[in-house]
Amino acid sequence: MSRLNIVLVEPRIPQNTGNIARTCAVTGARLHLVRPMGFEPSDKELKRAGLDYWHFLDITYYDNLADFFAKTAGGEYFYFTTKGRHVYSDMTYPDNSYLVFGREDAGLPEQLLFKNPSRCLRMPMINDARSLNLSNSVAIGVYEVLRQWGFPELKNEGSLTKFDWNEAL
């Protein structure tokens, strides 16, 4: 089974993290949360945004960024940032990729980005726009990786509840 990892470094907004948790749950991606966070895991806004998908979620918490890197050594890290010099869709993502996203208000630490220039990825935007919403950015990144992998182990065809597609004209 292919493994995709989503990393949120010091997330601040529980609704964003809840939405991202739901994206991870429905795609089979693992969620990694790096403290300090701007909320507690029991926050009702976090749970509400994730709806009833929490039982599908594989989630790990880390005390800080150093703890995360120590416990995931050997992973392939890709840093999603407005400061990136490469377009996210131009990258090839191997199995066990870690898509790393920073705080909603500050992004990832610039020292980390500076040390990894070839892994700093940007989603194209107009000049005057600051950034996309974090949960939207994660969804775009997740589905690009899964598209490249051929959507492994995901249901690729839906069905109607009152009609049979096979009987359509």
Which pLDDT tens digit goes with each residue over 82-137?
Answer: 999 999 999 999 999 999 999 999 999 999 999 999 999 999 999 998 899 999 99
Number of H helices, E strands in the chain: 5, 7
- For residue 59, with 0-12 CB atoms within 10 Å meaning exposed, 13-18 middle and 19 or more buried, which class applies? middle
Residues making up the binding site for S-adenosyl-L-methionine: 102, 123, 131
Find, among 120, 119, 153, the residue nearest to 29 by Cα. Answer: 153
- For residue 125, with 0-12 CB atoms within 10 Å meaning exposed, 13-18 middle and 19 or more buried, which class applies? exposed
Residues making up the binding site: 102, 123, 131
Q: What is the pTM of this model?
A: 0.92
* Residue 42 pLDDT: 72
* pLDDT tens digit sequence for 57-86: 899 999 999 999 999 998 899 999 999 999
* Residue 15 pLDDT: 87
- Average of per-residue pLDDT values in the chain: 91
* Residue 113 pLDDT: 98
* Residue 114 pLDDT: 98
**Which domains are assigned to the chain?**
4-167 (3.40.1280.10)
